[in-house]
C-alpha cells in the first residue's frame, strides 16, 4: 500500500470499503456460478471447475469479508463446507 500511495502521490483512505465491495462481488460470482452455472453470469462453462479448485482462495476472501464486517453468508458457508 505504501508503494501505491507513493506512486499515486495520495494517501489511500477507506480501503476497507473497497475490500468489502471486492469481496462481496467475488463471493456473489462464485455462489451464482456454482449454484446456477457460470453461464448465468456470462462466464464460460469451465469457470465453475476452476472456482472449485480455488476454494482455499475463496475462503480467504470470505474471511476478509467477515473480518471487515462481521457478516456471515449462509450460501458461502454451505459452498465452503461442500468443497473444502
Q: What is the pLDDT of residues 6-45, one digit of tens each?
A: 998 999 888 899 999 999 999 999 999 999 888 888 988 7
pLDDT value at position 41? 85
pLDDT value at position 14? 87
Q: What is the pTM of this model?
A: 0.83
Decide which of 59 and 37 is more confident: 59
Cβ(1)–Cβ(12) below 8 Å: yes
Cβ(65)–Cβ(23) below 8 Å: yes
CA 3 to chain centre: 24
What would the mean pLDDT of 55-78 be, rounded to a whole number? 97
CA distances from 63 to 11, 33, 42 (A): 26, 20, 27
pLDDT value at position 68? 95
Amino acid at each position: 500500500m505504501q508503494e501505491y500511495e507513493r506512486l499515486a502521490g495520495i494517501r489511500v483512505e477507506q480501503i476497507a470499503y473497497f475490500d468489502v465491495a471486492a469481496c462481496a462481488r467475488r463471493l456473489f460470482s462464485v455462489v451464482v456460478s456454482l449454484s446456477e452455472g457460470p453461464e448465468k453470469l456470462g462466464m464460460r462453462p469451465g469457470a465453475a471447475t476452476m472456482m472449485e479448485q480455488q476454494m482455499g482462495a475463496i475462503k480467504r476472501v470470505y474471511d476478509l469479508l467477515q473480518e471487515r464486517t462481521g457478516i456471515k453468508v449462509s450460501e458461502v458457508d454451505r459452498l465452503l463446507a461442500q468443497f473444502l
